[in-house]
Structure 1
Amino acid sequence: MVQSVELLLDDDLDAAVREEWSRMLDAGVTSQGRIRSPSNRPHVTLFVSAEIPAEVEDAVRATLSDTPLPVRLGGVVVFGDRHATLARLVVPSSALLDLHARLFGLLAECPGVPAHIRPGEWTPHVTLARRVPADRIGAALIAAHVGGRDLTGTSSGIRRWDGTAKREWRLV
């Protein structure tokens, strides 16, 4: 499994993304809204690896002290092909890119860091649905009603997620 550091969204942005999840479910598209765990929430993954040592958390907290950040969710991106992931792009502000680079600098030596999380390779996004069959992508986009409507707000904190233990905790 994976461990990650994730930027959480303010209440209004969180609710807007959850509304998109619900509309997709209502249209028969398996969105993130199907996951009933209390830890399932809209977020932007800032870092992911196979393991993040607990001893680096104080350094991570120190580099994350400049939150909340402005967050703007833009258009939809489709990752993959036959079974795609649909996500809202996060319009990358200089503050977000700087935070990501500082965080990556602290955690770059963690095991199992995927190339797509590195600065210059990272595509900040909020996942709407995973494993969407190609013939359902159009329905998913229509159901989410995301065409041309950006959502703006702020971050509400940063959490750590341990996918193996299935637990979360706040860093900021």
Structure 2
Amino acid sequence: MLPRPHALRRSAAVLLLIAAGGLAGCADPRADVALAAQSALVGMPKGTLLSCAGVPHRQAASGALEFFTYRAGSIDYYAPPPPPVGYGWGYPWGYPGWRHRGLDYDPWDYYPPRPGDVVDNRCEATFTLRNGAVEQLVYRASSLGACAAIVQNCMALVPQSLPPRPTPSG
């Protein structure tokens, strides 16, 4: 006996919900910090921005507006291993030129880079200031997670909203 069409639709919907939940669990927390900074840093004074983000790579002014641009990240090239030396002995400690990604693990990488891969993790953040305060933050990024390196010190200065405390009764 064949399954009923509405039973197939229901099981397909359940599978889609499970897949969506699984992908939501893989979110990049560094990208979340960068996205939150776009609204949290609005209104920050120029002096505070310079003290937490440092001196910008570029700056420009146009009328009442100032633009501070910061860069972070890198492009990593994973060199192919050299041909084996001798009669197949190779290198027991790994091939020269191969760069292991120990501390910069990105959860969006579902497989390790292969020899010859180029991994682009760059971000350029431009702060627009009006009257000495941040008005807007815009990213140009190949990896939004790399933008967190620019704004993380400034985000530490932003007061976090705490849940309200329960009032004692009596």
The question of a shared fold, defined as TM-score above 0.5 by the shorter chain, is answered with: no
Structure ranking higher in strand proportion: 1
Higher relative contact order (CA 8 A, sep 6+): 1
TM-score between both structures, scaled by the size of structure 2: 0.25
TM-score (norm 1): 0.25
Pair member with larger Rg: 2
